[in-house]
Amino acid sequence: MTRTLRRLTVLLLTLAGVCLPVAARAASSDFGARVDRVLAETPLIDGHNDLPWEIRERFKSDPGALDLSTDTSRIPPPANGAALMTDIPRLRAGRVGAQFWSVWVPVDIKGFEAVQTTLEQIDIVKRMAARYPGDFEMAYSAADIRRIHKAHRIASLIGIEGGHQINDSLAVLRQLYELGARYMTLTHTRNTAWADSATDAPAHHGLTPFGGEVVREMNRLGMLVDLSHVSPDAMRAALAISEAPVIYSHSSARALVDHPRDVPDDVLQLVAAHGGVVMVNFNPGYVSDAVNRWEADQAAEQARYNAPPYDGLYIGQPERAKAALAAWVSSHPRPHATLEQVADHIEHIRRTAGIDQVGIGSDFDGIEQTPTGLEAVDRFPALLAELMRRGWSDADVAKLAGGNLLRVFAEAERVAARLRTTRGPSLARPEAAPAPAPKG
């Protein structure tokens, strides 16, 4: 080889060594294209959206009164309410492949009325899907989600948000499953007769024996056991009982924000051992410590000015109490949660429990405030891009987006198929309430 040729060869190799890494870096930093490739193969599955209750409250339970084919954020919100965060154009822009619609019923609706209201909420979801058949299709299995995603529609699933909605009846639970409910949170904001809520004083220190039967029957049916909203003791009890992996449809990491709705690290490790998934919530008070503390301070101020029925500086003077609270807010501006803080929670769960244990559960249209950068359902790709910016691979982002939930859902179905060969419907009933202590 001549000296000139050798020099040319060295020059070309040197240029290759410089240019190839630059090209590789350019490709890896094209986050939008990477997100598109991931979500073309893996459906983005959001674990929790409260639009059905908004339809009930704002549009008298009539999906036809709300045009989801247009930008719903332009609809004037009610007093002290938020603009709607969900519509079909924004779901499409957010690349949503599957949505669990919450059929939430407030905890002050009890008994038979809670069951009826739940049925009405399920009806809203099904009518909503039927109204837009080119965009939505009801899904009842992991295979349905994959099939509907490949058909370029949005798989619509039903989630019950509170064990009070079955009125302490496993027969009701079974019938709600038959109607399409594929997860149930064991409590909402208050205890049930058989499970403790994260935001109520402990009554059972976890689950009662009947609460354990609820978990077992959900396993037999193939209904995902959702541990969002329940106390840490109830989480541990359910994890000890459940034969199928559990989910948290909308919860974040308590190590980052000490809010009772978030999941402690020791429980995250149990979830990992159990093969479950924690779908990270976007509620600002759950993802930002500053917001959590501000909301507690605001609640304290509100009680100080007007705390019925007996005290408060301006009790019986609602306008004066309102003005005083407004003055406090003006001098104590509300802090903002951010997309980056949501990503921090996702990364913490990954570090503590593993990449196979994390998902997304926005709580859109169930929260009045959102993190900056995650204002509505069109913003999911921005969150995935942020994680890519932090070094996440496409394979890891696919697990977060929907792969982990699909795995858990399919495993719950396999467990149910096995249990149904050995176990019939449970006839268990709640334990009798303890007799009141005698007076004197």
Query: Which residues are known to be catalytic?
Result: 48, 50, 161, 188, 229, 250, 363
Q: Are 359 and 278 in contact (CB under 8 A)?
A: yes
Q: Which amino acid is at 300?
A: A
Query: Please, how many CA atoms are within 13 Å of residue 367, restricted to the half-sphere of its CB?
Result: 22
Sign of CA dihedral 375, 378, 383, 389: negative
Sequence-separated (6 or more) residues with CB below 8 Å from residue 415 = 219, 222, 243, 244
In this structure, how many other beta carbons lie within 10 angstroms of the beta carbon of residue 120? 14
Quote the tokens at residue 221.
Answer: 């049916």
Q: Position of tokens 């301070």?
A: 297
Q: What is the DSSP letter of 141?
A: S
Query: For the chain, what's the residue count?
Result: 440
Q: Would you tell me the crossing angle of helices 209-221 and 404-419 to the nearest 10 degrees?
A: 100
Number of H helices, E strands in the chain: 17, 9
